[in-house]
Amino acid sequence: MNTFENWEEQKPALKAALTEQSDLSGVVYSVRHALLQTEQNTLSQMEDDVLRQQIGIIFSSLKTSVGLLEANVMTKVWVPQSQKVTGVKSKSYLWIIAAFLQITVGLVCYFKNLTLGWVLALAALVVTAFALFTTTRKKALVTSSMDEVRITLKPDIDKLFGLLDAQLRAIDRYVSDFAYLNEQLRGGAECTDTATLTRVADLLEALYDCEEEVRAPAEDAAKQMLEGMGLRALDYSSESRKLFSALPSKSETRTLSPAIVSIADYRLLRRGTAAVKIDVA
């Protein structure tokens, strides 16, 4: 099964989990869990250790990017302006009593022929009437407000699955691309199988422990097989020591596991191991 087929197996359970989630943190956790399960199923089917590490890095990047779903969105909501009209409270009955008294005083002065008195009373009445009119006017009081609301958006499940489907299909393309590039770096399709290289090295390593009569023909046959694959096995020497991991030895210098290189360009495909004698003063 490829990556997308493994992902398809996780989608029904993930869709049910996302439907029940009410916050983004739960959504992110569910998506990461499904991607982790898909990663484990995909990598378990890969025999190439290098390719497994490369695809694992891509999955790690994808799982990290899921955290972007937790980004909150800020928005400002403007509330429509509201108006409230109120009247100014006033003690109008006092003005009415004052006006009645002024009229009474004015009439008394008029009938007693006191011109100055009733003129002054009339002027006071006019002023009282004007004051009564102005204090009963209504004034409009306008109030406005603005509320700022934090809104957390929940992703659309269908769109989210569409994006994840595209990412998982892309990983399948990356698997093919990396496999091809790894073949080129290892020196060709015939020497790309790490397991094959390991088995050949183990075979030659076992022959080193055999008697010379048995070892020579078997070793020649193994090396001819390697040459047919475009490979060459090298024993430890002063010229090839850079291709080996050296282990200290008090008695002798010998090859424990041969180094395997490409015949075409002498590229190292598998590092060898040798026991190297050290001089003890």
Alpha-carbon gap, residue 83 to 169, rounded angstroms: 59
DSSP 210: S
In this structure, are strands 231-234 and 244-249 parallel, antiparallel, or unpaired? unpaired
Per-residue confidence at 211, pLDDT binned at 50, 70, 90?
Answer: confident
| Residue 222 pLDDT exceeds 50 | yes
Q: Name the more confident of 81 and 173.
A: 173
Can you tell me the mean pLDDT for 11-17?
89
Q: Taking the complete model, does pTM exceed 0.85, yes or no? A: no
Can you tell me the mean pLDDT for 15-41?
86
Say what the alpha-carbon torsion angle 254, 258, 262, 265 is, to the nearest 10 degrees.
-20
Name the percent of the chain lying above pLDDT 70.
Answer: 65
Per-residue confidence at 141, pLDDT binned at 50, 70, 90?
Answer: very low
Question: Where does the chain have alpha helices with state H?
Answer: 3-20, 24-43, 49-65, 92-111, 115-135, 157-186, 194-207, 212-228
Q: Find the largest Cα–Cα distance for the chain.
A: 164
Count the neighbouring beta carbons within 10 Å of the beta carbon of residue 257. Answer: 20
Name the percent of the chain lying above pLDDT 90.
Answer: 4
Residue 177 C-beta-side C-alpha neighbours within 13 Å: 9
48 close to 194: Cβ distance less than 8 angstroms: yes
Q: What is the pLDDT of residues 147-193, one digit of tens each?
A: 555 555 567 788 888 888 888 888 988 888 887 777 666 654 444 46
Q: What is the pLDDT of residues 226-278, one digit of tens each?
A: 887 888 888 898 888 888 888 888 888 888 888 888 887 788 888 888 888 87
- For 162-197, b/e burial (b = at least 16 CB within 10 A) is eebeebbeebbeebeebbeeebeebbbeebbbbeeb
Write down the pLDDT at residue 139.
44
